Amino acid sequence: MGAPAQIATAASWRSDFPALAQDIHGQPLVYLDSAASSQQPAAVIDAVARYHREDHANVHRGVHTLSHRATEAYEGARDKVVGFINASSRSEIVMTSGTTESINLVAQSYCRPRLQTGDKIVITHLEHHANIVPWQLVCEQTGAELVVAPINDRGELELEQMLEQIDDRVCLVAVAHVSNALGTVCPLSRIVEHCRARGIPVLVDGAQGVPHLQVDVQDLGCDFYAFSAHKMFGPTGTGVLYGREELLDAMPPWQGGGDMILEVSFEKTVYNELPYKFEAGTPNISGVVGLGAAIDYLQGIGMDRVAEYEHELHDYMVSELRKVPGIRLFGEAHDKASAQSFLVDDIHSHDLGTILDHQGVAIRTGHHCAMPVMQRFGISGTARASLALYNNRDDVDRLVEALGKAKEIFG
Ligand SMILES: Cc1ncc(COP(=O)(O)O)c(C=O)c1O
């Protein structure tokens, strides 16, 4: 497909997102903070509003029409997730409040009953705090050890060293699909292949994977895959834990309450079947409806097109940023998606972020909930621009122009 056709298509994607059509401090908004939370297309906003206006009731337990409709909408969204990540069945899709809860669920329900003193969990130096702290907690609870695979100066995993760290005391390996701070795409297939041969499950933190890359959990061969709706054009407070059925089946419930049971007496409770065993209490029904609409939206475009478009735009962003005098890029891995971290001269990242905001350019600054990444590079934080399918080359040009202004101010 030629470049002009790509640009025309992307322009129409952008107009699907009402929040982007506004001025900030008198300038058209350039939104480059999608790694923190993406904007929502009208299709998602409308689906959630329609649900609230017409269909809202509690799910599963009701015999009346609205409850049937709410249940259909909620369970219909689960079916969409199955197709979106190519799970084997709806039993493998647990609705959670987000990536963080999904990872905590696995730490407490899969690892905690299995871990003993001297056992290990392997993570990487790239991880978001959500894929560090839950493992630290379970290690503290059980006497297990947290092992951290190193990264190099380009922000790539030192894969051979990581594979050597994965020995027969390892209970689980947890790794990001894409680093939120550096944009590195991790070599999942090599890691999964190595772990599968040793019978070690792999959890993938897919928070930054699903919005940008085609994800096929069966093809990846991972055992768990966690992600959040709000980073893929859906609402906040909603997410997914994919788990291989065999593993989820063998895990005890994580939280107790309504909906996760078949029968309760004071003597004994019989738990519900998968995936409901892990969904205690009233779920975030409207959030899940919004997630379903976000999946429809992304599938309407096609994840292969999203990935191709963003890849080209990311390359353009990096090449333009490199032209800014005094810039230091953090995260120069061979395989990258969406995010680019940087610093300019000795301007503090928060100052950069504030000056850019005054020019209508929204970026994220600070440690990005990845303090160990910052420690690895000897810095306290970075400025980070992260792309989504609604961004274009003009956005990148505005970013670079705004950085020039920041340099003038601090000159
Ligand atoms: C790589 C990664 N993992 C986990 C999370 C946590 O996601 P949430 O706060 O939606 O649970 C984030 C959020 O930025 C992330 O980027």
pLDDT digits (tens, 9 = 90+) for 274-330: 999 999 999 999 999 999 999 999 999 999 999 999 999 999 999 999 999 999 999
Output the six-digit token pair for 335: 């395989």
Q: Give dist(CA 217, CA 188) in Å, integer.
A: 11
Q: Assess whether the C-beta atom of 364 lies below 6 angstroms from ligand 1.
A: no
Residue 6 pLDDT class (50, 70, 90 cuts): low
Q: Assess whether the C-beta atom of 238 lies below 6 angstroms from ligand 1.
A: no
* Residue 99 alpha carbon to ligand 1 centre in Å: 6
The stretch 114-134 carries a mean pLDDT of: 98
H-run or E-run covering 59: none
Q: Assess whether the C-beta atom of 208 lies below 6 angstroms from ligand 1.
A: yes
Q: Assess whether the C-beta atom of 109 lies below 6 angstroms from ligand 1.
A: no
How do residues 183-199 score in pLDDT, each as one tens digit?
Answer: 999 999 999 999 999 99
pTM: 0.97
- pLDDT at position 2 is 43
332 and 151 in contact (C-beta within 8 Å)? no
Name the average pLDDT for the chain.
Answer: 96
101 CA closest ligand 1 atom index: 11
List the Cα angle 255/209/133 in 5-degree steps: 45
Judging by beta carbons within 10 Å of its beta carbon (0-12, 13-18, 19+), is residue 135 exposed, middle or buried?
buried
Q: CB atoms < 10 A from the CB of 183, how many?
A: 28
Query: Angle 65-85/285-301 helices, nearest 10 degrees?
Result: 40
* Residue 205 alpha carbon to ligand 1 centre in Å: 8
Non-local CB neighbours of 357 within 8 Å, separated by 6+ positions: 24, 25
- pLDDT at position 207 is 98
What is the chain's Cα-based Rg? 22
99 CA closest ligand 1 atom index: 11
Active site residue 369: yes
User: How large a percentage of the chain has pLDDT more than 90?
Assistant: 96
- Probe ligand 1: pick from 95, 101, 128, 336, max atoms within 8 Å of CB? 128
